Amino acid sequence: MSQSRTCYLLICLLLSCAVNQAGAADPPAVEAKNGMVVAAEPLAAEAGVEMLRRGGNAIDAAVATGFCLAVTYPVAGNLGGGGFLVATLPTDAGAQTIALDFRETAPAAAHARLYIDAVAAGKTNASTLGHLAAGVPGSVAGLLYALEKWGTLERRTVLEPAIRLAREGFLLPRRTHQFLASASIASAMSQFSATRAVFYPNGSAPAEGSVFKQPDLAETLTRIANDGRAGFYQGKTAELLEKEMKRGGGIMTRADLANYRPIERKPIEFSFRDYRIVSMPPPSSGGVCLQQMLGMLSTFPLEEFGHNSSASIHVIAESMRRSFADRNRFLGDPDFHELPLTRLTSPSHIQAQSKTIKPNAASSSKEVLSGASAREKEQTTHYSVVDRNGGAVSVTTTLNGAFGSKAVVAGAGFLLNNEMDDFATEPGKPNLYGLVQGEVNAVGPGRRPLSSMTPTIVLDSGGRVRHVLGTPGGPTIITNVLQVLLNLVVYRLAPQAAVNAPKFHHQCLPDRLDLEPGLPKDVWSALERRGHNLKERSAIGDFQLISREPTTGTLYGASDPRGGGAARGH
């Protein structure tokens, strides 16, 4: 079994232990009046709420939480990765909707045969492990762009909690200890001396509950606090990164860093029932798939079918199958390809897809596929924020795999991503997640790899925030956001119940319906009778949800029991 596959299984196991420990009853969501932050790690959620208490808005809080996660949640929080931010900010003219793309880009020296050649030269893990796997990081540029354009607090104020936690340390949580101590992660991470120095200072993972300090990371964060984007993309940090690349055989240069830009994009927006859905456009596939799946499902009586009944799971899974067929074939970086977005999201196309769903029989993916498919992997993180003025921010950010490429930049203290593996590194070849992507997502200089990250906000007909949604989980991100949205809007589940409910996933190829434990046996048999190829799959995602009750304005924060996160309100 490959190292990445072993890491993936280990993460699933840790997550499923968390679910089992959570017990059967859904605890109530956390309640607050003035603001809420829900994140995968409690100190980071607290840092966001601190900004809200100081009078900051949802953007200030999101940026503080984002920088904090880079310190307190190293498995996925990051300076060396990328992500997407979707926001709705109140203005006199109604809600302003925002989609900010700070996805990593391929270095200028990257080309379509990069990983084909690397594999031929015997470097079989080149797109997942080590320096060649890293795209040009976007997180710092993205967070600072958001803060400067839409935030209200000083950069130093917003970065203060992250710097403090890196310098003074924090008590290492059990989950991070378990990740670091697992044999597969430890052996992959230990190949890099700078990574050993940070995460295995005495030869093994720091003990659970020990004070974990990251002085080099504190210095990098301080340079960012002092000099803004130049503190990361130029000067000492850029120098350290270039040196690290040379040492590790990577291709990223200082020019790549200096050239990195986040991009404001037009969000994917559409109506579903009485709601307005705002989500991420390409290079994420999330918003397009969400629009397609909800569109297909509009023609079915989902309430009548019942929540997580075999009839509803069947049609929802069929909508997933059809949408992933389009995703994998037609989506990639919109700045390098003319993507057929108008056609893919047109009512006529969505209706035509919907009509092919048979009420009592599974389709075959071969039949549905008019072409190819995609790829990715585990560990990413999501955080949701709502402020007292109704501003809302939904951010999903990632290093891609757990601890990304596993390579820390010596002297700068942060991990590099392995996002290059989200490209179709060899078109036609299924990757770790069985997704097979096409030419449109091939590696090319400056390109952004196709993503499944789906930060999403649901507004009511008056433009007020109702829900802020998101999760990690590779391709299951899209299908998990769909299910929590349906659980809230169609099935009217309470926020925590909507998050906790068992999930399922279909991604067209492999032609298989994955089900989390917890669904009744007769649902399994009824799905099998329809011809679905079923597989039990442990914990899907680590959802971070905020719901706003429309009449009282009370906020409810629901962090997923599958992870170790928390909702913090004020």
Q: Which residues are catalytic?
A: 380
What's the CA dihedral at 486, 488, 491, 495 to 10 degrees? 130
467 forms beta bridges with: 458, 547
Q: How far is the CB of 398 from ligand DON (least distance, A)?
A: 5
Instruction: Pick the stretch among 183-191, 311-319, 372-380, 501-509 that binds ligand DON (CB under 6 A).
Output: 372-380
In angstroms, give the least distance from the CB of 333 to ligand DON. Answer: 13
Closest CA to 488 of 347, 269, 270, 277: 277
Of residues 513-532, those binding ligand DON (CB under 6 A): none
Sequence-ordered list of residues with C-beta below 8 angstroms from that of 349, at least 6 positions apart, any chain: 343
d(CA 492, CA 489): 6
Select from 262, 473, 563, 569 the one that contacts ligand DON (CB under 6 A): 473
Nearer of residues 136 and 163 to ligand DON, judged by Cβ? 136
Reading phi first (left if > 0) and then psi (alpha if -120 to 50, else beta), residue 293 is in alpha
* Minimum separation from the CB atom of position 423 to ligand DON (A): 11
Residues 396-425 that bind ligand DON (CB under 6 A): 398, 400, 419, 422
Which is it for strands 30-32 and 94-102: parallel, antiparallel or unpaired?
A: unpaired
Residue 50 in the binding site for ligand DON (CB under 6 A): no
Which positions from 433 through 452 interact with ligand DON, judged by CB under 6 A?
451-452
Contact 65, 45 (CB under 8 A): yes
454 interacts with ligand DON by CB under 6 A: no
Q: Does 474 bind ligand DON (CB under 6 A)?
A: yes
Strand partners, 87: 98, 393
Sheet of strand 36-39: strand arrangement: 263-265, 94-102, 82-91, 392-398, 380-386, 36-39, 566-569
> 480-513: string of b/e by CB count within 10 Å (b at 16+)?
bbbbbbbbbbbbebbbbbbbbbbbbbbbbbbbbb
Work out whether 380 is an interface residue with ligand DON (CB under 6 A). yes
Stretch that binds ligand DON, among 23-31, 183-191, 218-226, 466-474 (CB under 6 A): 466-474
Which of 60, 378, 426, 516 forms a contact with ligand DON (CB under 6 A)? 378
Contacts for 228 with CB less than 8 Å, ≥ 6 apart: 144, 148, 155
477 belongs to the binding site for ligand DON (CB under 6 A): yes
Using CB under 6 A as the binding rule, whether residue 77 contacts ligand DON is answered as no
Nearer Cβ to ligand DON (377/506):
377
Count of residues near ligand DON by CB under 6 A: 16
Indicate the length of the chain as a whole number. 570
**Minimum separation from the CB atom of position 286 to ligand DON (A):** 8
Q: Candidates 172-180, 323-331, 375-383, 387-395: pick the segment binding ligand DON (CB under 6 A).
A: 375-383
Q: Using alpha carbons, list the distances in angstroms from residue 250 to 128, 244, 330.
A: 12, 8, 30
Residue number with CB closer to ligand DON (422 or 514): 422
**CB nearer ligand DON, residue 280 or residue 458:** 280
Output the smallest distance, CB 282 to ligand DON, in A: 12
46 binds ligand DON (CB under 6 A): no
Alpha-carbon span 533 to 479, nearest angstrom: 17
Residue 470 or 495: the one with the smaller Cβ distance to ligand DON is 470
Q: Which of 402, 400, 407, 398 is nearest to 421 (CA)?
A: 400
Per CB under 6 A, does 379 bind ligand DON? yes
DSSP assigned state of 324: H
- Does residue 134 belong to the site contacting ligand DON (CB under 6 A)? no
User: What residues line the site for ligand DON (CB under 6 A)?
Assistant: 376-380, 398, 400, 419, 422, 451-453, 472-474, 477
